[in-house]
Amino acid sequence: KSHIIVAIDGPSGTGKSTTAKIVAKDLGLTYLDTGAMYRAITFAALEKGIAPENSSGIDQLLRSTRIRFDDQNQIVINGINREKEIRGKQVSEAVSPYSAIPAVRKTLTEWQREIASERSCILDGRDIGTVVFPHADFKFFLVTDLKVRAQRRFLECQEKGIAMTLEEIEKNLAERDRIDSCRATAPLKKADDAFEIDTTQLSIQQQVKIIEDRVGVVA
Ligand code: C5P
């Protein structure tokens, strides 16, 4: 098949992006980090002091903010590389309320569909298999014990020089999952036809292999 869409959804810190990046490289797909898009809008809103409740401010922000990924897949907001900022504590703690705003979801969903219409993509997020691409060729849903997720994310933050304690990270993951699952628009939810993978006991290589074995045949 010449054009395929692979959806990887799941709660925060289940290894979606690490896995998706490797699968993308191995199978020659474009990787799209949809969480980075929500983080970017959040960063821009915080920078301008626009609260999630301020709907005209949010509309104006969506019209005026330019987001793109550079050739290293790092996020560029209005011409400035903000990769480190969007992964930090401030954005991580604010992102879920902004992601629940219907206008934000509409804009980012359209953008995701547009990018993926032109090339084969693997997208990771919360609503890819349910809302953005309900007819995706492959859907995966990753789950992992909270303690293990927090530990993995903690090591990742240390590597990137992001200052967050293990306790802060665990609290943040649990809180984001709660808000992301409870929102009215496109909540975090496994699509009925998604293949669930519990990564608690798996290495990155193992979870990559499970996905590639299913996708690889057609890609
Ligand atoms: O994937 P990541 O953890 O970077 O996502 C950050 C936040 O962006 C999530 O907690 C969620 O609120 C939001 N998000 C979303 N829909 C997506 C991807 C991310 O609502 N498809």
Alpha-carbon distance of 198 to 190, in angstroms, equals 13
CA 12 to ligand 1 center in whole angstroms: 7
Per DSSP, 29 falls in state -
Write down the pLDDT at residue 162: 87
DSSP string, 146-209: HHHHHHHHHHHHHHHT----HHHHHHHHHHHHHHHHH-SSS-S---TTPEEEE-TT--HHHHHH
Of ligand 1's listed atoms, the one at least distance from the Cα of 42 is: 8
pTM here is: 0.96
Cβ(149)–Cβ(10) below 8 Å = no
How far is ligand 1, taken at its centre, from the CA of residue 173, in Å? 11
**Cβ burial 152-173 (10 Å sphere, 16+ → b, else e):** bbbebbeeeebebeeebbbebb
- Mean pLDDT along residues 148-156: 94
Ligand 1 center to 209 CA (angstroms): 24
- Prediction ipTM score: 0.99
Q: Dump pLDDT digits (tens) for 63-87.
A: 999 999 999 999 999 999 999 999 9
Sequence-ordered strand ranges (E) for the chain:
5-9, 30-33, 67-69, 75-77, 80-81, 121-125, 138-143, 195-198
Q: Is 81 left (phi over 0), alpha (psi -120 to 50) or beta?
A: beta
Residue nearest to atom 11 of ligand 1 (CA): 96
Assign domain 5-211 to a CATH class: alpha beta
38 C-beta closer than 6 A to ligand 1: yes
Q: What is the pLDDT of residues 6-62, one digit of tens each?
A: 999 999 999 999 999 999 999 999 999 999 999 999 999 999 999 999 999 999 999
Is ligand 1 within 6 A of the CB of residue 180? yes
Assess whether the C-beta atom of 112 lies below 6 angstroms from ligand 1: no
- Asked if residue 10 belongs to a known ligand binding site, the reply is yes
Residue 13 marked in a binding site: yes
